[in-house]
Amino acid sequence: MGDDVQLSCGPGSPRKHTLELDTTTEINTKKLKVEYENDSDCKDRSDDSDDGQREDEAMPDTDQSINSSDAVPKLDPLSYTKTNEFTSEIFKIQIYNLPTFGFSDLKKRLKSTLGLNPHKIKHISNTLVTYVCFRNEADRDKALRRVNGHRWKGKVLEAKIAAPMADPYLQKRLQAQEAKSSQQTDSAPSIESLTPEEAEARLKANICPLWNTDYFQQLQIKEEKMKTVLEGISKHDFIKHLFEDRSKKKDMCELLSIIPSPVITEYRNKNEFSIGFGLDGKTKMVGFRYGLYKDGCTAIGDCTNLGIAMPAAIPVVKSFTEFIRKSKWEPYVQHSGTGHWHTLTVRTYLTGDVMAMVDFQPRSLDEEEIEAAQYSLKEFYTQGEGRDVSITSLYFRVLGGKGIRDQTKLQHLCGQTHVHESLMQLKFRISAEAFFQVNTPATEKLYELIAEWANVSPSTTVLDICCGTGTIGLSLANKVMSVIGIEMSYPAILDAKANARINGITNAVFHCAKVEDIINKTVNSLSSPQYQDVVAIVDPPRAGLHKDVIKCLRRCEAIQYLIYVSCNPASAKNNFVDLLRPETGRHKGLPFIMDKVRPVDLFPGTKHCELVVLFKREETTAITNNPEVMAREDTATDSTQGVPESAAVLPGEPNLSL
C-alpha cells in the first residue's frame, strides 16, 4: 500500500546490541556485557539496547508482567530454566585466570583457536571474570575440555560449570517475601502499599527523574554531568601532555553552555508503552512501569498525565487500553511466560501523522489464532470503537521467543506505510523501525549547531556516518558538493534515499553496511583530488563507533573537521580518546584536537542530553614525535579492552535484566 493511502481498510483486507545483566546468583551488583553470536535475531529492548537502541530514543523499562506476589504461586528465581523454553544459561561455564584481553580477542580465541561455538559471551566490566554459554551440553562439555589447560599470553586457563543466573524479578520478590515473613521493618515499602499520589510520584520519578526540578536546574545538572565526562578524558596521561604542550591550559577546551529544548513537556514523538497489569495485579493497563524488572517491579501505571508524550499519542493509548480489556487474549507476563499482548509503540509527528505498532507474543497459538488476533486489532481501528482515533498507519508484529523482534514479521495492516516529519524545512519519510530523534523542535537546534560548526562550502563533501534516515546530511546538502551517508539499517537507508528524492536532492548517496565494513573503501575514495574538503559527521548509537572506524577516520587526510554527536558521552569517551591519541604505529594519522564542546538538551525531565564535539585536525607533528609520549602510547592497553564491540539477543533467551 502506498504512502498516500489513508486508514480506511475493510475487514477483508544484522545488528548487534549491548545488553546489561545483573548477576544475582553469581556476582551481585556487577554489570555484565553480553555478546550473542547471531546477528539476525535480536531483541530490541528500549531500556538497555542500543539500536542498538539509542540512548536518545530509549524509554525507561518497557517489559510487561504481573506485579502482585499473589499471582506467583511459587517464587522460584530459576523457574525459567525448568520450562520447555530454550535458555543457554543451563549450558554455561566460567573461565578463570584470563590474561588482559580485548573482547574481540577473546571471541576469536574461543571460536577460531579452540574451535568452540559459543552462544553468548558475558564479560563483567572492569574484571577478568567471563562466562560463556552454549546451545547444548555437548558444546559446553567440549569447551570444558579445550579451555582447561589452554595457554594464552602466558596464562593457563581454567574453566568450570557455572550456575544459571537467577531471574532478578523473582529473586527480588522472594527477598521481599522473606523479609516480610521474618518481620523485618527496615525494608522499603512495596509498590502495592503506596497511596495513589505516592504511586504517581514513583511513576514520574521512573520515567522523568527530573520532573519536579526547575528546568534551569535541569540544565545545570546536565552541564555538570558533561563537565565530569570531559574532565575524565583530560586526565589521560598522553592527552594531558598533548594539551599542556599546545596551550599550557589544564582544560582541553571550553565547555559551552547547554542549548535548551524549545519545548519541555509533551515533546516525545516516539513512545513504547508496556502492556500488563496495574498495582492490583488484575486491571489490564497500557502505560509505563513503576520500576525495573530486576528490582522486582512490573506494575504498569497510567501514562496519560505524565506530560512527556506528544498529545496525539494519548488517544491511541486510551483506545488500545479499552481494546485489550475486551480482548480474549491476555497481556504477556514475562516471568510466567503467559499472555500475548506485549508492547504498543506510538510514533506521532508535527505533520499530524500517527503510527501505531503492536507487538504480539504468540506463545503456543497456531497461525489461525494469531491471524484472529491480528484481525481483531485491525477491525477495532477500522470499523470498531477505535475507528475515530487519528491513526494514519497501523502495524502488527509477531514476536519470537520471549520477545524477539523480527522485522520480517512486521505486518502492515492499514493506512500509510510510513509517517512523515518536517525538519529543517525538509520533509522526511520515516519507516516503522527507523531511528528518528524523539524531540523534533530540539533536533532543529541540534542540526543548526552542526551546520554552524561544519563551516561547509560548495566544495565540501559531508561524510555522514550512522546517517539513519539521512536527516543530518540532507539538511546540509544544498550547501555542499556532495553527501555520503553510511547506515547499517536497510529500512533506514531506503528512507534516506526516498528523502533525497522527496526533497529534490541529487548530490547525496547512501550505502547500507556496517560502518566498519565499508569505511576503508569510503575513505580511500576520498583520497582523490576532488575531495580536498571533507567534514565527517558521526551520530552513532550509545556504544559509540567501532575502533577500526576511528582508525580509518584518522588515516583520511582529507578529513580536517569531525563533528561527533553523542547520546551517551560516557560510552563514547573511548572514541574521543582514540581521536586525540598521538600518532604512533598503532594509531596512524595526525591526531585531532577538541576545539568546541556543547551539550544540547533533547530530553527535558530526564538526566540525558546530546553532546556535540567539534574535532579539528592537529596541524603540527611536534607533539606526536615526542618519544616519551609515543613510548607510553605503544605500551598502553587499547581503550576498548575488555568491552564487547557489539551485542545482540538471540531467540528464546530470557531477558533477565529488565
Would you list which residues are annotated within the binding site?
Answer: 437, 487, 539
In terms of C-beta density within 10 A (0-12 exposed, 13-18 middle, 19 or more buried), how is residue 402 classed? buried
Q: Characterize the bridge pairing of strands 19-22 and 31-36.
A: antiparallel
Q: Secondary structure of 58-110 in the HEC alphabet?
A: CCCCCCCCCCCHHHCCCCCCCHHHHCCCCCHHHHEEEEECCCCCCHHHHHHHH
Task: Check if the beta carbon of residue 437 is closer than 8 Å to that of residue 268.
Answer: no
Annotated binding site for S-adenosyl-L-methionine: 437, 487, 539
Neighbours of 459 (CB within 10 A): 12
CA dihedral over 45, 47, 50, 51, signed as positive or negative: positive
Question: What beta strand segments (E) does 137-265 contain?
Answer: 151-152, 155-156, 158-161
Neighbours of 371 (CB within 10 A): 12
Rg (CA), the chain: 25
What is the residue-wise DSSP string for 425-448? TEEEEE-TT----S-HHHHHHHHH
What Å distances lie between residue 480 and 466, 507, 535, CA to CA?
A: 19, 9, 10
Q: Identify the active-site residue in 9, 414, 567, 609.
A: 567
Residues in the chain: 658
Q: Can you tell me which residue has the cell 600518532?
A: 583
- Would residue 512 show up in a list of annotated catalytic residues for this protein? no
Query: Which among 50, 638, 510, 540 is positioned nearest to 549, based on CA atoms?
Result: 540
Question: DSSP class of residue 591?
Answer: P
Q: Edge-to-edge, what's the strand order for the sheet holding 130-133? A: 19-22, 31-36, 120-124, 130-133, 92-96, 158-161
Active site residues: 567
